Structure 1
Amino acid sequence: MTEVVDFRSARQIHAVLRERGHEIGLATVYRNLHDMEQRGEVDVLRAGGGDTAVYRRCERHEHHHHLVCRRCGRAVEVEGPVIESWAARVARDEGFSEVTHAMELFGTCGACTRAERGRPRP
């Protein structure tokens, strides 16, 4: 996945590997992506209620969040110290430990917004 810079589904990654001549099963791709996620080597976005995941090699190894364009899929890695403080406080107040979290913010990037505004109205 080192050459993949945008988010891709396991099926898309599997197809790329097969096109490159790798004889690998889809289940193996899923297992490896899961292992890479656990080691913090890939970013994972879950869309549509969490049942669809897309993956991308991490640019940063420390914990971070994403701002994702709904139209083009562009993703920006962002820090969220307020989110980190809030999650720690809620966990502590409720007596939880070893809490993890993931947060993705979805919107429309500037380029897509400008493109949409530049179109004539029907």
Structure 2
Amino acid sequence: MAVIQRNTRQRAEILALLDGLDEFRSAQQLHELLRARGSSTGLATVYRAVQSLTESGEVDVLRSEDGESVYRRCERRGSHHHHLVCRYCGRTVEIDGPAAETWADQIAAAHAFVDVEHTIELVGTCADCRAARSATH
């Protein structure tokens, strides 16, 4: 049964904030940014909202190197895709991976699995960060 999401002021504030960000941010960082804008939205509300937005496909979630969940507004809402993420600045590019999709389907079939889901994040260094790091070294 699909859960109907209420369009609350807090949810709208979080979506508007995420619309203005290019990189992934933690719930705590989102909360701090909201507070800096004068919002009274509490941290627990931010956590509930990003979880709900993730489940509905409106927000992407990744696991950072330290295991923390970080969130970003999904440009390809509702479509399956993967991410190429800069390890320094957090710049993210949404990418398709048809070869990865084929591979995942083959692995699942070989082991008699169905309804398999997967997430792929490629982490590297973007051209801007590579240039900046080269200039300082």
* TM over 0.5, shorter chain: yes
Corresponding position: 1:56 with 2:85: no
CA distance in 2, matches of 1:8, 1:72: 11
**RMSD (Å) for aligned C-alpha atoms:** 1.6
Q: Which residue in the other structure is 2:134 paired with?
A: 117
Distance 1:109 1:23, change over 3 A: same
- CA distance in structure 1 between the aligned counterparts of 2:133 and 2:31, rounded to whole angstroms: 33
Question: Equivalents in 2 of 1:5, 1:115: separation in Å?
Answer: 19
Runs (5+) with no aligned partner, structure 2 = 1-14
The gaps in structure 1 that reach 5 residues or longer are none
Q: 1:59 to 1:19 in 2, by over 3 A?
A: same
In the comparison of the two structures, how many residue pairs are matched? 119
Cα deviation for residue 104 of structure 1 reads: 0.4
Paired residue for 2:83?
A: 66
Choose the corresponding residue for 1:104, options 99, 117, 121. Answer: 121
Alpha-carbon distance change, 99 to 111 in structure 1, aligned in 2, over 3 angstroms: same
Aligned residue in 1 for 2:36: 19
2:57 is the alignment partner of 1:40: yes
Moved over 4 A (4+): none
Fraction of identical pairs, as percent = 50
Q: TM-score, normalised on structure 2? A: 0.78
How high is the TM-score relative to the length of structure 1? 0.86
Query: Residue type of the partner of 1:71?
Result: Y
Read off the aligned partner of 1:84 and give its amino acid letter.
Answer: E
**Hey, which of these two has a bigger chunk of helix by percent?**
2
Deviations 1:75-106 (A, max 9, x none): 11111001111111111211222211111011
Letter in 2 for 1:104: E
Correspondence 1:76 to 2:79: no
* Residues in 2 aligned to 1:77 and 1:42: alpha-carbon distance in whole angstroms: 12
1:92 is aligned to 109
- Which residue does 1:7 correspond to in 2? 24
